[in-house]
Every structure is written in structure tokens, then in C-alpha cells.
Structure 1
Amino acid sequence: MTAAIEIHNATKSYGDRPVLRGVDLTVEQGTVTVILGPSGSGKSTLLRAINHLEKLDEGFVAVGGELVGVRLHGDRLQELREKDILRQRARIGFVFQSFNLFPHLTILENVVEAPISRGIRPAVARETARALLERVGLADKESAYPRQLSGGQQQRVAIARALALDPEVILFDEPTSALDPELVGEVLQVIRSLTGSGRTLVVVTHEIGFAREVADRIVFLDEGVVVEEGMPAEVLDAPQHPRTRNFLGKVLI
């Protein structure tokens, strides 16, 4: 299979606190990878490094064979210009745990903002946005503002927005953690509908049942290190590492 994402020696510290300690990870094209781990294990930092929202201290990320956020200059990595980084991010959708919708824009305006800013004709962007809102079950909310929607509805809008540029890769950073329990299912159902679409999904979540159902591969991260990875049946049902067993024991209880 072709690698959609390649992460090599990803290393990141905040001050004197290491967050990622030389992570190596390959995500195959068209697959669903779920990243599990305790709070503070580096999951969100790793996800944000994939589209260069976090700059690594060492190592690199490549998406579709192209380095993200940097270029090779001689034997050193050099930061790209912001416009080039923005071009790359158009290929990498990102769904944040806190929705990150623009409160002063309607739902439709939120979804069309990025496509229009990248030169797509407004009429085409609106047509695509309406189709995406219908796909996530919110066709009747296009004139509403984020504050008028539930958390689950806002997150579904955020997913539609992430799809608006037709990205190759979509990253989900704990997409249900800010939701009331009764709203979690509607968001997971939308993510579930994206599996098998040919896109590559990477999902940071604590929803073990969802991970078991949709993941092609589970990655367990702890203290900035990939402790264990494998198919869901391997990692969730027969974890080999004590830290994985301890985490799953607490979460499943």
C-alpha cells in the first residue's frame, strides 16, 4: 500500500518538558488510524504536527510524499513560506475538539470561507457546501449561526468545513470530547460515514468502541512514545505492553 503520511523522528518539547520523543509512524493511504493514549501523552501535538500547526524540534512529516511545512535545503530542513504551508494544508483537513467555527458567520459562510479564499468561484463553493451540509444532516441550518446550534451540530458543521476542500487526509482531534454524552453518537456516525471513501483518516479519541469498529490500525501513545500499534483486535483485545493494558483497563472500566 502507498503511504499517505510518514512521520520520522518527530520530536517536540515545550521548554524543558518533552512531549514527543522521536515518533516514527506510517499511515497507509485510504485507511483509518486511531490514536489512543492518556492525557498529556502527545496525541494532539502529533496530530497538529502533521499539518504543521506545531513545528517539530527534530524530524519531519510528509503527506503524499511531500514534506509538510519544510523543504530540504542541502542537508538541512528549512521552513517554508506561509503561503506554501497554507497550500499544503488545503490537502489536510483538520477537525478540532472545540469546533473553531467563526461565530460571526452563518453555517454556510463557515463552510465556503476556505474554498472562496483559495480562488474557488462563490457559486461553486456554495453548491459544494450545501451538498456537504446535507451529507452531515444540516441542510436546513445553512442560515443559522454557530451559537444557535448544539455542540454536536457545530461539530458536524466543522466536519463539513474540513471536507470543503476535498482533502486527501482528515485529522480529528478528540472530536467528541467537548460534547455532552447524548450528542457523541451523531458526530461519530458522520465520521463513520467517511470510512471507505478513499480518504485517509487519523482520529485521536477515547471512544474505544468506535475505535474497535472503524479503525484499520490502533496506535497507543504514552509519554511521547509509540508504545504499541497494530490491528484493533491485537491492541484492544490482546495488548502486549503493560502501559497499554493499564490504560485500557481504566478506560474500559
Structure 2
Amino acid sequence: MTSEDPAMTGQAIVRAEGIRHSYGRTDVLKGIDLQVYAGEVVCMIGPSGSGKSTLLRCINHLERISSGRLWVNGNLVGYRQKGTRLYELSDKEICRRRADVGMVFQQFNLFPHMTVLENLIEAPCRVLREPKKVVTERAHALLRQVGLSDKHGAFPTQLSGGQQQRVAIARALCMQPKLMLFDEPTSALDPELVGDVLDVMRALARSGMTMVVVTHEIGFARDVADRVVFLDDGRIVESGPSDQVISFPQHERTQAFLAAVR
């Protein structure tokens, strides 16, 4: 595989072939095949423990796959291939490749001792070695985009949960990623705070950002996703256009899950 920009070559930005992952003797992913293309929004739904979050973490190499092959942006995740052999990447190389992938977690994971602005500019300045002036201008623009331009000097503890999650999204975007991963980004929020975060994600989807979203927000998945993937017991049970999977699920397991969460 080359490291050409998948958006320019028509490749899948994410390509998983038969990937498996185990915790000890417990199989969590049991042979996942998945492709996500540039500009596509894919929502992954399914019961707790089905492997959704683990799959997301494997894409960002926060978890190592046990077998199979996984490519992101045209590069093998965690390895380089020479001939028929695989060689594990150094931590430095993994961090460099991970810079192209933004991830937003259930918990906001902001640095509590830093202001909102400092949270945004830390990684681009330290990891990408970008000039502070350039990054600061980009950070202010992103804070305007998520509706928090007046909070640049605040500390995370001075913000609501919804505001903290919007800062976390802006922080991920400040690295200018090619792919955004969201791991149940609204699950830790009070119900009245969910809407603002989903609005930011909707705008991001409209902008053409490639997104993989693990979510229990079925309405969001139906309205925003190009494709919905239903996982159960470590396997993809059903996948297709959002309206088709959510409104007219074909597999009985998908039907039972959607009936229970509606």
C-alpha cells in the first residue's frame, strides 16, 4: 500500500479485512470487514459489548488487532510491510500517523490545568511543530465554529459537559485530521446538553469530513449517516444506507435491537 491521499485516489480511508481482537481468551471482534470512503459518515450501532468501541479504538491503534489487516489513509495501522513481512512501527511513527485521525471520547479528556485555547493548540504545536500564531488563529476559528468563541480563556471545570465536549471536538479538529472518530460522544451528557453537540457533528458532516460514529442516538444516525453498521457479538450483522437499516432492518437481531431502543 502507498501513503497517497485516499481522498485523491478513490481508496477507502478505512479498510478492515478480517480483523479480530481479543482480551485474554475473550474474543471481542470476530472477523470484521469494513470500508469507509472519503466524505462518508458511518454510524455504528448495536448493544453494549458488541465491539463497537473496540473497533473504533483499533482504527486509531489504541487497541492492537489480533489478526487480519487494517489500513487507515492507505497505511497499515501499527505496521509497515516490506515484501511479505510486517514490521511493528515505533511509538514515534505511530504518533505521527495518528495525527491524521481525530478522536472524541465519551469522557472529554481535556487537560484540566489548561485553558480552552491552550487545550486546542497543545498538540499542533508540540506534535506537528506548527507555529503558535498559525495554530492560535485556527483554534479561534474552530471555537467560533462550535459556538464557544467567548470561552477561549476558561478552564474545563468552568464549562458544562456539553461545552466541554464541543471543546474536545474543536481540539481534535485543530490537528486538521482526515478522519474523525466519535465514541458515543453524547453518552455522558445530560439530555438537555445533547442537542448542541449533535448540531456540531451535523455541521461537520455537511462540511464533508469523513466520520465514523459509535452512537445510541438512532435519530442522528438516521438523519446524518450515509451508512449504518449494526454490530452484535463482535460481528457486523447488517450494513447499508441509514434509512434502509433503521427503517427497514432485514436481520431479526437488528429488528429486535431497534424495537428495544425506540
| TM-score > 0.5 by shorter chain | yes
Other-structure match for 1:188: 198
Give the secondary structure class of the aligned counterpart of 2:28. strand
Other-structure match for 1:131: 141
Contact 2:11 2:74 in 1 (8 A): no
Give the structure-2-normalised TM-score.
Answer: 0.94
Query: How many aligned positions are there?
Result: 252
Shift of 1:73: 3.9
Give the secondary structure class of the aligned counterpart of 1:5. strand
Q: What do the CA deviations read for 1:74-111 (whole angstroms, capped 9, x no partner)?
A: 43332201111111111100001101111111100000
Other-structure match for 1:46: 55
RMSD: 1.0
Other-structure match for 2:153: 143
Q: Distance in 1 between matches of 2:194 and 2:85?
A: 44
Q: Distance in 1 between matches of 2:221 and 2:167?
A: 22
Contact 1:7 1:26 in 2 (8 A): yes
Other-structure match for 2:119: 110
Q: Is residue 212 from structure 1 mapped to residue 247 from structure 2 by the alignment?
A: no
Shift of 1:51: 1.2
Q: Is residue 152 from structure 1 mapped to residue 152 from structure 2 by the alignment?
A: no
Other-structure match for 2:101: 92
Q: Is residue 244 from structure 1 mapped to residue 257 from structure 2 by the alignment?
A: no
Other-structure match for 1:226: 236
Q: Distance in 2 between matches of 1:22 and 1:47?
A: 14
Give the secondary structure class of the aligned counterpart of 1:21. strand
Other-structure match for 2:73: 64
Q: Distance in 2 between matches of 1:105 and 1:8?
A: 40
Contact 1:30 1:196 in 2 (8 A): no
Shift of 1:198: 2.7
Other-structure match for 2:16: 7
Unaligned residue ranges in structure 1 (runs of 5+): none
Whichever residue aligns with residue 191 of structure 2, its letter is P
Q: Which moved more, 1:69-78 or 1:140-149?
A: 69-78
Shift of 1:24: 0.5
Unaligned residue ranges in structure 2 (runs of 5+): 1-9
Q: Distance in 2 between matches of 1:208 and 1:129?
A: 31
Shift of 1:28: 1.3
Shift of 1:68: 1.7
Other-structure match for 1:35: 44
Give the secondary structure class of the aligned counterpart of 2:110. coil
Match of residue 162, structure 1, among 163, 172, 176: 172
Give the structure-1-normalised TM-score.
Answer: 0.97
Other-structure match for 1:78: 87
Contact 1:97 1:173 in 2 (8 A): yes
Contact 1:111 1:164 in 2 (8 A): yes
Q: Distance in 1 between matches of 2:119 and 2:93?
A: 23
Q: Distance in 2 between matches of 1:51 and 1:152?
A: 24
Shift of 1:122: 0.8
Shift of 1:237: 1.1
